[in-house]
Amino acid sequence: MASGETGDRVTAAVLIIGDEILSGRTQDTNLRDISRYLGTFGVDLAEARVVPDVIEEIVAALNALRERYDYVITTGGIGPTHDDITADAIAAAFGVELYEHPDILALMTARWGGELNAARRRMARVPVGGDLVKNPVQGPPGFTIGNVFVLAGVPQIMRGMLEDVGPRLRTGAVTISRTVRVEGSTEGVIAAPLEGVARAHPAMSLGSYPFFGPDGYGSNLVLRGRDPEEVAATVAELMAVLKDAGCTNVKEVEPGA
Amino acid sequence: MASGETGDRVTAAVLIIGDEILSGRTQDTNLRDISRYLGTFGVDLAEARVVPDVIEEIVAALNALRERYDYVITTGGIGPTHDDITADAIAAAFGVELYEHPDILALMTARWGGELNAARRRMARVPVGGDLVKNPVQGPPGFTIGNVFVLAGVPQIMRGMLEDVGPRLRTGAVTISRTVRVEGSTEGVIAAPLEGVARAHPAMSLGSYPFFGPDGYGSNLVLRGRDPEEVAATVAELMAVLKDAGCTNVKEVEPGA
pLDDT tens figures, A37-81? 999 899 999 999 999 999 999 999 999 999 999 999 999 999 888
CA-CA distances (angstroms) from residue B240 to A103, A233, B180, B200? Answer: 35, 68, 11, 14
Distance CA A149, CA B211 (A): 23
Query: Domains in chain B, ordered, with CATH?
Result: 10-168 (3.40.980.10), 176-253 (3.30.70.600)
Confidence of residue A209 (pLDDT cuts 50, 70, 90): confident
**Mean pLDDT (chain A, rounded):** 91
Confidence of residue B2 (pLDDT cuts 50, 70, 90): very low
- Give the model's pLDDT for residue B6: 46
Whether the pLDDT of residue A85 is over 50: the answer is yes
Distance CA A4, CA A227 (A): 11
pLDDT tens figures, B35-90? 999 998 999 999 999 999 999 999 999 999 999 999 999 999 998 888 899 999 99
- Give the model's pLDDT for residue B136: 87
- Give the model's pLDDT for residue B112: 81
Closest C-alpha among A173, A171, A170 to residue A225: A173
- Cβ count within 10 A of residue B78: 28
Whether the pLDDT of residue A6 is over 70: the answer is no
Q: Do the beta carbons of residue A78 and residue A86 sit within 8 Å? A: yes
Q: What are residue A51's DSSP bridge partners?
A: A17
Q: Which of A1, A50, A54 lies closest to B2 in CB terms?
A: A54
Residues A222-229 have a mean pLDDT of 92
* Sheet containing strand A71-75, strands side by side: A131-133, A142-145, A148-151, A71-75, A10-17, A43-51, B43-51, B10-17, B71-75, B148-151, B142-145, B131-133
Hey, is the C-beta of B26 within 8 angstroms of any chain A C-beta? yes
Least confident of A167-176, A193-202, B123-132, B225-234: A167-176
For residues B80 and A129, the model is more confident at: A129
Q: Which residues of B touch A81 (CB under 8 A)?
A: 187, 190-191, 194-195, 207-208
Q: Say if the Cβ atoms of B52 and A35 lie within 8 Å.
A: no
Whether the pLDDT of residue B134 is over 80: the answer is yes
Q: Do the beta carbons of residue A35 and residue A45 sit within 8 Å? A: yes
- Give the model's pLDDT for residue B13: 98
Residues A206-228 have a mean pLDDT of 85
Confidence of residue B7 (pLDDT cuts 50, 70, 90): low
The yes/no answer to whether this complex scores an ipTM above 0.95 is no
- Cβ count within 10 A of residue B232: 14
Whether the pLDDT of residue A107 is over 80: the answer is yes
Distance CA B73, CA A122 (A): 37
* Strand B10-17 relative to strand A216-225, pairing: unpaired
Least confident of A90-94, B114-118, B245-249: B114-118
- Give the model's pLDDT for residue B188: 87
Helix axes B187-200, B228-244, angle to 10 degrees: 140
Q: Say if the Cβ atoms of A50 and B55 lie within 8 Å.
A: no
A20 Cα to chain B: minimum distance (Å): 8
The torsion of the CA quartet B27, A10, A49, A72, rounded to 10 degrees, works out to: -120
Q: Would you call A182 helix, strand, or coil by DSSP?
A: strand
- Cβ count within 10 A of residue B21: 25
Phi-psi region of B4 (alpha: psi -120 to 50; beta: other; left: phi over 0): left
Hey, is the C-beta of A177 within 8 angstroms of any chain B C-beta? yes
Whether the pLDDT of residue B114 is over 80: the answer is no
Whether the pLDDT of residue A188 is over 70: the answer is yes
Whether the pLDDT of residue A16 is over 80: the answer is yes
Residues of B numbered 62-121 whose beta carbons fall under 8 angstroms of chain A's beta carbons: which are they? Answer: 79-84, 112, 117-120
Residues B167-191 have a mean pLDDT of 91
Distance CA B139, CA B142 (A): 9
Whether the pLDDT of residue B1 is over 50: the answer is no
Sign of CA dihedral A169, A165, A50, A118: positive
Q: Do the beta carbons of residue B132 and residue B143 sit within 8 Å? A: yes
- Give the model's pLDDT for residue A257: 55
Q: Say if the Cβ atoms of A80 and B31 lie within 8 Å.
A: no
Distance CA A160, CA A152 (A): 9
Hey, is the C-beta of A257 within 8 angstroms of any chain B C-beta? no
Q: Which residue of A has its CA nearest to B138?
A: A212
Q: Which of B28, B34, B80 lies closest to A191 in CB terms?
A: B80
∠ CA A1-B56-B128, nearest 5°, is 105
- Residue % of chain A over a pLDDT of 90: 72
Q: Which residues of B touch A117 (CB under 8 A)?
A: 188-189, 191-192
- Cβ count within 10 A of residue A31: 24
Closest C-alpha among A137, A143, A97, A96 to residue A123: A143
CA-CA distances (angstroms) from residue A105 to A113, A139, A212, A227, B93? Answer: 10, 11, 54, 48, 50
